[in-house]
């Protein structure tokens, strides 16, 4: 398993539009990508589940993955979470 921690910096957090971009990107990887925030976990491949995490500015998030492309997937999703607005 590979994982990376980060803090959401987007002023409005990760709302529907950027979350949809994250889901689209996560679906390109052949591994399970999990986003964890405030003790809750959700698949990065599910828009509905991502939106239940409360990804607001200033919250700490851990992205983890297991599988063939785990490291690449985690790095890409973590980058998107930290840079999308």
The whole-angstrom separation of Cα 20 and Cα 38 is 21
Sequential DSSP letters for 55-78:
--TT-EEEEEEEETTHHHHHHHHH
CB 12 within 8 A of CB 43: no
Catalytic residue positions, numbered: 15
CB 78 within 8 A of CB 4: yes
């Amino acid at each position: 398993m590979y994982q990376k921690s980060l803090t959401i910096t987007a002023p409005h957090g990760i709302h529907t539009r950027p979350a949809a971009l994250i889901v689209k990107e996560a679906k390109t990887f052949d591994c399970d990508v999990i986003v964890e925030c405030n003790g809750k976990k959700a698949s990065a491949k599910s828009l509905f589940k991502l939106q239940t995490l409360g990804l607001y500015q200033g919250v700490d998030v851990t992205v983890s993955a297991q599988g063939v492309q785990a490291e690449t997937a985690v790095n890409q999703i973590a980058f998107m979470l930290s840079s999308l607005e």
